[in-house]
Amino acid sequence: MNRKKICQIILLMGLLIMLPFTLFSCKYYFVKEDENLKNLLEPGSIEYYNFIAQVYYSRRQYTRAIFFYEKIIEGYSDTENSRHRRHVAWAYYEIGFCEKKRGRKKKALEFFELALTKSNDFTINTLALDQIEKIAITLKAKPKKLATEL
């Protein structure tokens, strides 16, 4: 047997071994995601607002994305549901990111700080702190840069 034939056989064996695991994980994923998909299609749900905001963000339409992130904050800020509170914290973080992309760094800083106060989620807090540090560095660097240019 030549080298190419051996590689094809090994690849085929690997596919045959992995196929049951892949099918099982896909089935689990679709069953689990079916509930979220149903909520996604329901106007006014938190998943609906989040999805629409992400679409606008991906199209660089930050003002429209902010509008839908604010809908999440308005509708779900007072909830006791931990999943909703996490979405609210993410909405603050994402608004901060949109403001940063729009060049409004001080406004972005406010929203990243709100994300920190509204969340006890490690990921959100870490990302928000990282953005706060980056903005603080750029805000401090600009006056020094201007002073050296004069």
Helix (H) or strand (E) holding 63: helix 62-76
The rounded mean pLDDT for the chain is 76
Q: Up-side HSE of residue 75: CA atoms within 13 Å toward CB?
A: 17
**Tokens linked to 79:** 């909830």
State whether 19 and 88 are in the same domain. Answer: no
State whether 142 and 82 are in the same domain. Answer: yes
Question: What mean pLDDT comes out for the span 111-140?
Answer: 87
State whether 15 and 81 are in the same domain. Answer: no
Q: Return the amino acid letter for 52.
A: I
**Tokens linked to 53:** 């905001």
Overall number of domains in the chain: 2
State whether 90 and 112 are in the same domain. Answer: yes
State whether 4 and 62 are in the same domain. Answer: no
Q: Say what the pLDDT of residue 110 is.
A: 92
Q: Which of 119, 60, 42 minimizes the C-alpha distance to 87?
A: 119
Q: What is the pLDDT of residues 1-29, one digit of tens each?
A: 677 677 666 655 655 565 455 544 444 44
Q: Which residues contact 140 (CB under 8 A, 6 or more apart)?
A: none
Q: Return the amino acid letter for 90.
A: W
Q: What is the pLDDT of residues 140-149, one digit of tens each?
A: 755 444 334 4
Q: Say what the pLDDT of residue 86 is.
A: 87
3-state secondary structure of 81: coil
Q: Say what the pLDDT of residue 18 is.
A: 57
Q: Which domain does 121 fall in, by range?
A: 43-149
Q: Which of 102, 97, 95 minimizes the C-alpha distance to 130?
A: 97
pTM of the model: 0.67
